[in-house]
Amino acid sequence: MLQVSVLREQTEAVLAGLAKKHYKTAEADVQAILALDLRRKELQTSHDQAQAEANKLARQIGDLMKAGSKAEADTLKLRTAELKQQTKAHAEELVDVEKEQQQLLYKLPNLPHSSVPQGRSADDNEVVREVGNKPTLAAGAKPHWELIEQYDIIDFALGNKIAGAGFPVYKGQGARLQRALINFFLDEARQAGYVEIQPPVLVNEASGYGTGQLPDKEGQMYHDAQDNLYLIPTAEVPITNLYRDEIVALEALPIRNAGYTPCFRREAGSWGAHVRGLNRLHQFDKVEIVQIAHPDHSYAQLEEMLSHIEGLLQKLELPYRVLRLCGGDMGFTSALTYDLEVWSAAQQRWLEVSSCSNFESYQANRLKLRYRPENGKTQLLHTLNGSALALPRIVAALLENNQQADGIALPAVLHSYCGFSKIG
């Protein structure tokens, strides 16, 4: 959530940033927020003045009663009653104004970093680098949705039977590969200094608002109306919310956490080959890395996180590329996002497997996540996260890129985790 002080003091820069994200009602919403803030201040001042006058009169009434001047005291009591009604009315209007202002602030996306390129869609994203050689497959190579049937390692029909489309059942070597990848990713995160967290996969409404999934992505989340809980779209939500309403000691920064969770997305996408098989699911496994950083160091931490994720892809021997997302393709809460995509040799296209983002103070403002400088009042921290990694498209690329006549060869780094070196 953007700070009102930023909207007030840097209005033109805010409007330019919102325009870069193609937010259509920027000027009207910003002006409405600033008008509400002015009204809030007027109400608060009137409330405080009336309260101060009432307190002063209360002391005078006490003195008059002690002096036997009941008539004068009664006159002042009438004024005190008026002031009491006035402060009550101001307090009630103040609540309404603050609520309306808060809802408008929730609508505004984060401002993009200066390095974010202009653009409206994925076609406008900037390719930062491409690493690795794309494999050349033999004639008759199959896409992963045919390979999983051939080797009987993932069953979409069974998943559809017990849950619905987009909920695959992993079995045999497919299940073991899932577990191997999760353990590999978690071990790598721990070695990089991340503390492992096993969070709940259900979160309350306050957590959804804290990291910005609500109200922006409400329709994309599975919701239990009876208990008003949401299935998480990513471990970012519960892990970042561990620090909601916290003042973090400077010496504890940066905080590094990693966690594995299943993830749930209601919007699994449209029909077609680009969402077929493992390309897009309602439920999938992912290891997430999260950092809480000092504002002066958050972009260095972002580069560190990006390097960690690239290291995983290199160890998995997957060709990949790094994209810097343009303003129109960025997430609602992000200030700067790198996407990492692996090459799918059978599909002949890039598959996104990770987003790595700096949210600057946007989430921290919602979370009331702060630090206290050595001298001065508390300041907002910066939050960051990245997929390290999401499994479905990693598995798709591993199957397609490594298919051979007698099976699917796995990268050496997974052999000890899987207990086998080849599927088939």
Output the six-digit token pair for 149: 């049937």
Q: How many CB atoms lie within 10 A of CB 358?
A: 25
- Residues belonging to the binding site for L-serine are 234, 265, 288, 385
**Phi and psi at residue 408, to the nearest 5°:** -120, 115
- Residues belonging to the binding site are 234, 265-267, 288, 352-355, 385
| Residues facing residue 323 across a β-bridge | 127, 339
In 211-304, which ranges are E strands?
Answer: 223-224, 229-231, 247-248, 255-264, 283-293
**Which alpha helices (DSSP H) does 163-216 contain, by range?**
173-191, 205-211
Q: Classify 424 as helix, strand or coil.
A: coil
How far is it, in rounded angstroms, from Cα 375 to Cα 406? Answer: 67
Instruction: Let me know if 336 is exposed, middle or buried by CB neighbors in 10 A (0-12, 13-18, 19+).
Output: buried
Assign 3-state DSSP to the chain and report helix, strand, coil percentages, each to 5.
45, 20, 30
- Residues belonging to the binding site for ATP are 265-267, 352-355
